[in-house]
């Protein structure tokens, strides 16, 4: 199955798997330690969800005022 026949060597699959795991751990050690240090979980379940603060009526009027100013500016420069 190899491109060159000299590389077509039979390998016992558990040895190959163990070799892959060791290489992965050695190359990812720093990243894994960083994730453990900062309690990073790569999955979304079990995480706390953050929601923004509720919009008040003052925020709504301010955003409407800003939108009107932008629309007005766009009409001026046409």
pLDDT at 76: 67
47, 41 in Cβ contact below 8 A?
A: yes
CA distances in angstroms from 68 to 12, 37, 45, 64, listed in the order given = 71, 48, 41, 6
pLDDT at 51: 78
Asked if residue 27 is part of any domain, the answer here is: yes
As a whole number of angstroms, the distance between CA 64 and CA 74 comes to 15
pLDDT for 13 beyond 80: yes
Asked if residue 26 is part of any domain, the answer here is: yes
| pLDDT classification of 1: cutoffs 50, 70, 90 | low
Asked if residue 37 is part of any domain, the answer here is: yes
Q: How would you classify residue 46: left for phi > 0, otherwise alpha for psi between -120 and 50, otherwise beta?
A: left
pTM: 0.41
Asked if residue 58 is part of any domain, the answer here is: no
pLDDT for 77 beyond 70: no
Asked if residue 14 is part of any domain, the answer here is: yes
pLDDT for 33 beyond 80: yes
pLDDT for 48 beyond 80: no
What residues make up the domain containing 15?
9-42
Q: How many domains does the chain have?
A: 1
Which segment, 5-9, 23-27, 60-64, is predicted with the most confidence on average? Answer: 23-27
Asked if residue 35 is part of any domain, the answer here is: yes
């Amino acid at each position: 199955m190899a491109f060159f026949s000299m590389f077509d060597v039979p390998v016992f699959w558990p040895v190959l798997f163990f070799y892959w795991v060791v290489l992965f751990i050695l190359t990812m050690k720093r990243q894994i330690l960083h994730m453990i240090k900062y309690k990073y979980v790569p999955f979304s379940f079990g995480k706390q969800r953050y929601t923004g603060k509720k919009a008040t009526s003052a925020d709504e009027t301010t955003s409407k005022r800003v939108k009107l100013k932008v629309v007005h500016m766009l009409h001026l420069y046409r």
